[in-house]
Chains A and B, each alone.
Chain A
Amino acid sequence: MKIRTFAACVPVMLLAAALTACSHGDAGSGDADATLSYWASNQGASLDNDKKILTPELDKFTQQTGIKVKLEVVPWTDLTNNTLAAAVSGRGPDVLNIGNTNAATFESTGAFYAFDDAAFQKIGGKDRFVASALATAGVAGHPPTSIPLYSQVYALYYNKKLFADAGLQPPATWEDLVSDAQKLTDPAQKRYGIVIPGATVNSSMHFSFIFGQQHGGSPFDKDGKPTFTSQGVIDGVKQYVDLLSRYHVVNPSDAQYTDASQSAGEFAHGQAAMYMAQTSGINVLAQNGMTPDQYGIAPIPAPASGQKVSSFVAGTNISIFKKTKHLDAALQFVKFMTSSQEQEILNKAYTTQPAVKDAPAAFTDDKQKLDVFTQILADYAKPLPLVSGVQAYQANVGGAVVSLIAKAATGATISDGDVKVALEQAQQKMGAK
C-alpha cells in the first residue's frame, strides 16, 4: 500500500543507505584525486543558467587542485527537502548551498561540519568576510555550520516608462506606494500596480518579516519564543495582504504564483509597474528580456510613521556535510568559492553582493542601482532571527500568509481579526513541537 511506503520512506532510505554503505568501503584519504559532489542552489534564472555560470569556475578549481567537482543544481523548492533527506540518511553531497534563512535550523540537526577557528584558518580567516553576512552563518556564539557565499537584499523594482507616463516618482513611503499603485492599476488593460508571489511560502514569510519590522514587530522574543500575534507582526501581514484585499492593486491571479520567478515575468512584460525582489532580480529580469535601463531601484518604503526597514540580510551560504570523506578537499573548495577572485566573478554573474570584503560589488554597471543596494544592506536591513525554529516559522507563517492571499483573491475581505486568527494558529503549531 502506498501510504505504508510513504509513512516509511525515511526508514527505507536508511536501509538502502545501510546496504549500499557496505559495498562502498573506505574511500580513504587520497584527496588529491577526489571527486567532490556539490549541490548548488538555483541562483540564476534557470538551472541551465546556473550550470553555464558555475562549470567554467569549477573547471578552474580542478586545474588548480586536481580535485574534481560533480555539480548538481537543485531548485529551491527541492533543496531544503533534499538536504533534510540527506541529513536523515547520512548520505548526501560533500558540499552544498543552503538558504541563509535555514542556517540555524540546519545547525540544530548536527548534520553539517562546524567551522571552528582552525577550519577558518584553512579557508583564509574569519576577518575576510563581511560582518553582516557572516552573522547569518549560524546561531551567535556557536562555531557556524555555513559560510556566506552570495549576499542579497530586497528592493523595490519599478518600471521607469510606466512611472514616467503617469508622471510619478518612485515612492518614498508605503502610503505613496499604495497611491502610485492605484494610479497605475488598470485591470481592463491587464495592468496592475504591483506584483506579488502570492502562493510562494518563503517569500511570503520574507515580506511578513520586513513589514512586521516596519511596525516594530518581531516574530520571536529574546528567549526565542514565537510572538506571531504581537501587534507589529499582525500589522505587517495586514499591510502586505491589503495590497490585494483592500486596495486591489495586485492581479488576483498572483495568488497562484508558487515561484517568485513567475512574478518576475509579469513585471518584465509590463503587466505590473512594481516588483519587490532580491538583488538577483537583475539577472532574472535580464533572462526575461528586461534590460536594466528599463527599471529603477528604490528601497522598499515603510509607512510614514513606521521604522525604515526595507529588507533582511538574505543570501546563500555554503556548508560541508559532516559525513564527507573528503574534508580537506571540501575545505579547499569552500576556500576557492569564497576567494576574492571567485566571489567577484560569481557575484557579478548572479548579480548578488559578495560576502567577502576584498571583492567589490560589481553586479551591475549602473552606479545608482549599486548604491541603492549597498545602502539597503548597510542601513535598512535587519537580520532574521537566528533561532532553530526559523524553518518552522517560515513554513507556518509563510503558509498562513499564502492562505490569506488566496482568500483575498477569491473575493473575501481580510480583516485584522482574520490575520490574527491565522497567526494564532501558526503560533500554536510552533508550540506543539
Chain B
Amino acid sequence: MAVTLPGPHTPTSVAGTTSPDPTPSRRRRFTWARSTPYLLIAPAIAFELLVHVIPMLVGIFMSLIQLTQFYVTNWSAAPFTGIGNYRVALDFSGPLGQQLARSFGITLGFTVLVVGISFGFGTSASLVLQRVVRGRGPLRTLFLIPYALPAYAGIITWKFMLQRDNGLLNQLLVDDLHLAHGRPFWLIGGNAFVSLVVVSVWQQWPFAFLMTMAGMQVIPEDVYQAAAIDGASTWQQVRHITLRMMRPVNAVLVLLLFLWTFREFNTPYVLFGPTPPESADLLTVHIYASSFITWNFGLGSAMSVLLMLFLIVVAGLWALWNRRVNRDA
C-alpha cells in the first residue's frame, strides 16, 4: 500500500545521483515517514481488537459450546455442541424457540413503531422550527432535554409516573379527568407495550430532531425562493425540495434509529426489571434472561449471534437499496 506512494522515493533517487547512499535497501524497509500512519493507527486497532473483535469472537465461540452452570468456572471442560445451541434457539416447536420467535416479532413491531413515530416527530419539529424564527433557541433546547438527560434517571421517572396506585398518569386519567374506569396497569399486561413505546419515543425522537434539523440547515435558501417564484406551495416545497434533498440524511438516520431501537436494553430493563411482561418481552432482555437468569451462557450467546446476524442483514439490505437509490438519483 505505502509502496505505491511516490513521495518518499523521489528524494532518495535524487540524493542517489549526487552522493551514493550506502544503505538504500535498509532505508526502503523502514522510515519513520512511512510507518507513521501505521504507528498512529496501531493503538486504535489494538483497542478495537480488545474491545470489539476478540470479545465478539469469544462470544461466537461460547455459542458453540454447552456453557452452563457446571462449566462456568472451567470453560475448557464444557462440551462442544456445534450448532446445538442454535438448533434449540431456532426450534420453533419447542418453548424456547417459540418464545424467541415471539420476542422477535414483538421487537420488530416495537422498532417499527418507535422509529416511525420518532422520525415523524423529529422531521415535523425540524420543519416547524425551520420556519419559526422567534423562540427557536429555547424550543430547540427544550426538545433536546430527553436526549441530554441520563437515560436511567429519565426512565426511572417514567416508571414512577406509570405506577398504578400513586403514579402521575393514573392520577391524571382516573382521579382528575375520570377518563378511565378503574385503575389501569401501565407496567404489566398489554399496556406495558404502550408504555415501552412511549418512553422509547420520548428518548429517541430528539436524536431524529437533531439530525433532520442539521440536514435542513444546509439546504440553500435560494432553492426555496426559486420554487416560490415558480408558484410552489409550502407543502410542495416541503415535499419536493426539503424531503428530496434530505434523502441521504434520512436514510442514515432511519438505519441508525432502527439498529439502536432493535437492540434497546436499558429502557425495558429499567422499566420492568429482569422479568418483563409478555407483551413487552424485547429480544435483548429475553436473551439476558435466557443466559444470566438460567445460567445458560451458550444458548444466550447463540441468540446474541443470531440477533447480530439479523442486524447485519438489515444493514446490508439497506446498503444495497441505498446504492440503487443513489444510482437512480
Contacts and interface: CB of A to CB of B under 8 A. Distances in A.
Interface of A: 1-12, 14-15, 81, 84, 87-88, 90, 105, 108-111, 199, 201, 252-253, 255-256, 258, 322, 388, 391-392, 395-396, 399, 402-403, 406-407, 409-410, 425, 428-429, 432-433
B189 interface: yes
B73 interface: yes
Given A3-B263, A392-B295, A432-B88, A399 B275 contact: yes
Nearest to B266: A2
B19 to A, nearest CB: 50
24 contacts: A2-B265, A3-B307, A3-B311, A6-B284, A7-B287, A7-B305, A8-B58, A11-B55, A15-B54, A84-B72, A88-B72, A109-B72, A199-B188, A252-B164, A253-B165, A256-B187, A392-B294, A403-B275, A403-B278, A406-B277, A410-B189, A428-B94, A432-B94, A432-B96
Given A1-B259, A409-B188, A409-B189, A429 B52 contact: no
A7 B304 contact: yes
A90 B72 CA distance: 10
Given A3-B307, A7-B300, A399-B293, 18 more contacts: A6-B284, A6-B288, A7-B55, A15-B55, A81-B292, A84-B295, A109-B69, A109-B72, A255-B188, A322-B73, A392-B294, A395-B293, A396-B294, A402-B275, A410-B185, A428-B95, A428-B96, A432-B96
A10 B291 CA distance: 11
Contacts of A6: 263, 265, 284, 288, 304
B293 A87 contact: no
Interface string B49-75: 011101110110010000011101110
Contact of A88 (B70, B73, B273, B299): B73
Nearest to A90: B73
Contacts of B294: 391-392, 395-396, 429
A111 B73 contact: yes
Contact of B263 (A2, A81, A395, A406): A2
B59 A4 contact: yes
Contact of B50 (A1, A15, A406): A15
Interface string B141-180: 0000000000000000000000111000000000000000
A407 B55 contact: no
B232 interface: no
Interface string B285-315: 0011100111111011100110110010000
B190 interface: yes
Give the residue among A2, A8, A396, A428 with the most B Cβ atoms within 10 A. Answer: A8
A295 B95 CA distance: 45
A200 to B, nearest CB: 10
Contact of A255 (B70, B94, B185): B185
Chain B contact residues, majority secondary structure:
helix
B183 to A, nearest CB: 8
A25 to B, nearest CB: 22
Contacts of B183: 253
Give the residue among A10, A253, A392 with the most B Cβ atoms within 10 A. Answer: A10
Q: Which 3 A-B pairs have the closest CB atoms?
A: A8-B55, A7-B304, A410-B189
Interface string B110-148: 000000000000000000000000000000000000000
Contacts of B297: 10
Given A84-B292, A429-B294, A5 B94 contact: no
A256 B185 contact: yes
Given A3-B304, A4-B59, A406-B188, A433 B296 contact: yes
Nearest to A11: B58
B295 A8 contact: no
- B interface bracket (residues with beta carbon within 8 Å of A): 35 or more
Contacts of A88: 72-73
Contact of B70 (A4, A5, A388): A388
A223 B62 CA distance: 29
A46 to B, nearest CB: 19
B207 to A, nearest CB: 15
A4 B56 contact: yes
Contacts of A256: 163-164, 185, 187-188
B188 A433 contact: no
A4 B59 CA distance: 8
Contacts of A90: 73
B62 to A, nearest CB: 7
Contact of B73 (A87, A253, A425): A87
Contacts of B69: 105, 108-109, 388, 391
B306 to A, nearest CB: 10
B188 A1 contact: no
Contact of A110 (B55, B74, B188, B292): B74
A8 B308 CA distance: 12
A389 to B, nearest CB: 9
B73 A109 contact: yes
Interface in B217-274: 259, 263, 265, 273
Give the residue among A110, A391, A428 with the most B Cβ atoms within 10 A. Answer: A110
Contacts of B50: 15
B185 A8 contact: no
A107 B317 CA distance: 48
A256 to B, nearest CB: 6
Nearest to B70: A108
Contacts of A14: 58
A8 B54 CA distance: 9
